[in-house]
Structure 1
Amino acid sequence: MANVQSRRMALGGHRTTGPVAALDIGCSKITCLIGRNDGTGPRHFQILGSGRQQSRGFSGGTITDMEGLERSIRLAVEDAEREAGEQINQVMLGITGAHVQCNLVTASIEIGGREITAKDVRRLQAAAMANVSTKGVEVLAAWPVAYRVDEQEGVREPAGMYCDTLGLFLSVVTAPKAMVRNLVECVGRAHLSVNALIPSSIASGAGTLIDDEIENGAICIDMGAGVTAVSVYLNGSPAWVGLVPAGGTHVTSDIAQGIGTTFAAAERLKSIYGTANLEGPGLAERIEAPRLGDDGRLQATRMERGKLAEIIAPRIEETFELIQKTLGSSGVRKVLPRRVVLTGGASQLPGVRDVATRILEAPVRLGRPTIAEFLGETLGTPAFSTASGLLLYQELGFADAVRAGIASKEYGSEVRGGAVNKAFHWLKENF
């Protein structure tokens, strides 16, 4: 069974020796990290520089102000370059939004009883890619979830085995061409080229899951400011991504509306006193909760901390109920892992893990970046999971058919594809 280290050795071309830059464009902040791998392991990075700026012109995965977003990107990159003493010209760019879609496709080819070769595997992946509709979309990534060798299901690496028919279940992530073009254009205006465009939810998983979780399966939930991204890892590879349109800013907005205060004051209340726990010590504590008076100015008032929890808890519960529903309708719903890792800035709110454990009915841990052993108090927080995962993505060596340059035209048309194929009845049963 191949693990992260052996995949990296097999894909030696993925190893980078010079500085690598990651650009994470979120709804509340833009982060640029510059790092260098020391060559002793995928997670042995030295962070050379970091930059963080307030995000402007970007909401819910959509650009709303090209000039504002470009300026935010420039400032974040300049800060990272200044700290690193390095100038960068290309980045690993994360992409997120409701229009980033994940679909599961199948294909099979005839082997004729001989040994399966690496070329056969590539030909099969190309066959599956031929079943993907690319009208109006760009294919961002495609990961093999499982192979079928005749009647043997769930095979991870079929090369070297013998069979008559070889089948594949492929997870394909797409995004609208206009969305991709606008994002790449905005980054280009900051004099940067895009080395790779990676789904942010997958980057979050790469940045926080340990090798055992990647190999044996885990769900990563990245609770950001505007959205919550979900990724599923199976058999040592990304398998599925999804998105829930709820995040930390929705909690802040609920507080502002609920007690009649400004967004900034609500954010401060959430950060200092916020909790999703409706039971436990400290809820009777009276806290400062400024409210807007008739003159439009904040006035000093006090309230019980438990009242604040009563505003926060329903939104957090709703978020995890939506996550549960999204996972339940995914293409991998019948093989979902039991382990859950929470990350992202909003996951740091007290009580969130307890709510997740109760609603998802699974063990939950709070994930932090694993890119290096020592990251400091700031970079080591869940808020930097996506940026660190963007740096790590190539080093982990996932078998991405898109980055490998596999296209259906290279291998002809000897395929049998589609979910209706009788040879893939097992996919319907298992996925």
Structure 2
Amino acid sequence: MAGLDLGSTKTCAVIAEVVGDLPRLPLAKVLGVGLAKNAGVRRGMVRDIDETSRSIVAALRDAERMAGVKVGAVTCGIAGEHVSARTSTGVVAVSGDEVTAEDVARVNEVARAVSLGRDHELLHDIPQEYVVDQQRGISDPVGMTGTRLEVEMYLVTVQSTAAQNLRRSVERARYRPADLVLEPLAASYAVLTDDERELGVALVEVGGGSTGVAIFHEGKIRHLASIKFAGTHVTSDMMQGLGVTQADAERLKERHGVAYQPLVDASEMINLPSTPSQGARQASRELLSHIIHQRVDEIFQLAQREFERAGYGGGRLPAGVVLTGGTAHLPGMVELA
């Protein structure tokens, strides 16, 4: 199996083999990985299909070379401001004395049968809980006695054009798009434990073009949001504040960037890239950290607002917050959060 993460700055590809105690405890054994620069995606939406396809080819070629296998189909991650979510309910009468798998399928279909809005398609339908004759909190109602079956379902939708352009980019790279998966949801399976999801935890994925927020409680996803600020905005702030190009700002961020200003020695200086007319230039590393600190702090404040909007502010997340995404690798992110 193969997976693709198409970000605003790079494309990541992974090829893995499913191992473990199947089907109870499947595990992924990573066989190969590949990275390639990508300038064809912005804020989760493909802006240049040819550039994105070239990036996909380069990343998967490296992953296939490392794994020693060729893949035909890939599962692609999708995220961005065009993603939306809502809760939907469904109710049916139980066909016999006890709930059957057919009854569950019927009530799920009723919950899915809602208007998704113009130019949107269903990405995920995730049952939150089932209710049998007003008995709540049921995860699997099959075999239970009752006459009325209800479901509360979390529906995740994406803009159809965004999904179609993503699929077209993969097809142009001569691969088959097997499925689309919401990236914060996929990341949660990689980095969150069952206990964290049960207690209450927030996943904040700080990427290049956008920041994804996903809140889990009682083992279920409860809230999804996308914040329009992320790593590329940090880079843009550095370009303006230091007078450097985008490529130089990225290099400075990777080599000297610190997200939490108090961690930096105020006397430390760094050499700035410059043009012949600018001459040799230096800046304090504290100034660089200050620029990063201000933008990342804003991102975290917006994430906190999402926690509060979802009803999980004020310490209602016992397992805390888990940071992921490329920008989360910056030193000082945990201290600032």
Alignment of 1:184-199 (within 5 A): 184-199=167-182
Measured in 2, the distance between the counterparts of 1:102 and 1:68 equals 30
**For residues 92-131 of structure 1, what are the structure 2 equivalents within 5 Å?**
92-111=75-94, 114-131=97-114
* 8 Å CA contact 2:270, 2:285 repeated in 1: no
Deviation of the 1:335 alpha carbon: 11
- CA contact under 8 A between 1:144 and 1:171: conserved in structure 2? yes
- Residue 199 of structure 2 contacts residue 318 of structure 2 at CA under 8 Å; is this kept in 1? no
Q: Distance in 1 between matches of 2:70 and 2:249?
A: 38
Number of corresponding residues: 334
Q: Are residue 342 (structure 1) and residue 326 (structure 2) matched?
A: no
TM-score (norm 1): 0.71
Whether the aligned pair in 2 keeps the contact of 1:140 and 1:197 (CA below 8 Å) is: yes
**CA–CA distance in 2 between the matches of 1:109 and 1:337?**
34
Q: Does 1:214 align with 2:194?
A: no
CA contact (8 A) 2:90 2:111 kept: yes
Q: Output the CA distance in 1 between the equivalents of 2:111 and 2:214.
A: 21
Tell me: CA distance 1:120–1:198, structure 2 relative to 1, closer, same or farther (3 Å). same
- 1:243 is paired with a residue of what secondary structure? strand
Q: CA RMSD in A?
A: 2.5
Q: Percent identity?
A: 34
Per the alignment, residue 22 of structure 1 pairs with 3
Q: Who is 1:364 aligned against? A: none
What is the match of residue 378 of structure 1? Answer: none
Partner of 1:81: 64
Kindly report which structure 2 residues correspond to 1:279-294, keeping only aligned pairs within 5 A, or say none.
279-280=262-263, 282-290=264-272, 292=274
CA distance in 2, matches of 1:119, 1:165: 14
How much has 1:125 moved relative to structure 2? 0.9
After TM superposition, give the deviation of residue 156 of structure 1 in Å: 2.3
Contact 2:132/2:149 (<8 A) preserved: yes
Deviations 1:199-228 (A, max 9, x none): 111111112112322344422111111111
Q: Note the 1:12-411 alignment, pairs <5 A.
A: 20-40=1-21, 42=25, 44-111=27-94, 114-133=97-116, 135-280=118-263, 282-290=264-272, 292=274, 295=277, 299-330=279-310, 337-339=317-319, 340-356=321-337
For the structure 1 residues 111 and 345, does the alpha-carbon distance in structure 2 shift closer, same or farther, using more than 3 Å as the test?
A: same
Alpha-carbon spacing, 1:194–1:334, altered in 2? closer, same or farther (3 Å): farther
Gaps spanning 5+ residues in structure 1: where? 1-19, 357-431
Amino acid corresponding to residue 290 of structure 1 in structure 2: L
Which secondary structure does the structure 2 equivalent of 1:128 belong to?
helix
* Cα distance in 2 between the residues matched to 1:38 and 1:113: 39
Could you state the TM-score of these two structures normalised by the residue count of structure 2? 0.90
Residue identity in the other structure for 1:21: A
Once residues 245 and 128 of structure 1 are traced to their aligned partners in structure 2, the CA distance between those partners, rounded to angstroms, is: 30
- Describe the shift of the 1:114–1:335 C-alpha distance in structure 2 as closer, same or farther (beyond 3 A): farther
Pair 1:325–1:60, CA change in 2 (3 A): same
Rounded to whole Å, the distance in 1 between the matches of 2:165 and 2:133 is 44
Deviation at 1:336, TM superposition (A): 6.3
Measured after TM superposition, the shift of residue 88 of structure 1 is: 0.7
Q: Do the aligned partners of 1:61 and 1:98 also contact (CA within 8 Å) in 2?
A: yes
Output the CA distance in 2 between the equivalents of 1:199 and 1:40.
Answer: 26
Which blocks of at least 5 consecutive residues in structure 2 are unaligned?
A: none
SS in structure 1 opposite 2:99?
A: coil
Change (3 A) 1:156 1:278: same
Between the aligned partners of 1:335 and 1:166, the Cα distance in structure 2 is 34
Call closer, same or farther: CA 1:119–1:336 in 2, change over 3 Å. farther
Q: 1:325 to 1:301 in 2, by over 3 A?
A: same
Q: Deviations over 1:80-124 (max 9, x none)?
A: 112212111101111112111111111222348942222222211
- SS of the residue corresponding to residue 44 of structure 1 reads strand
Contact persistence 1:156–1:235 (CA under 8 A): no
Query: Does structure 1 retain, via aligned residues, the 8 Å contact 2:34–2:63?
Result: yes
Partner SS, residue 146 of structure 2: coil
* 8 Å Cα contact 1:96-1:199 kept in structure 2: yes
1:331, 1:107 → 2: CA distance? 24
CA distance in 1, matches of 2:309, 2:57: 39
| Structure 1 counterpart SS, 2:223 | strand
Bigger relative CO (Cα 8 Å, ≥ 6 apart)? 1
Q: 1:262 to 1:50 in 2, by over 3 A?
A: same
Deviation of the 1:278 alpha carbon = 3.2
| SS at structure 1 position matched to 2:262 | coil
Cα pair 2:274 2:281 within 8 Å, conserved: no
Give deviations 1:20-74, integer Å, cap 9, x for gaps: 1111111111011111022336463322111110012111112221111111111
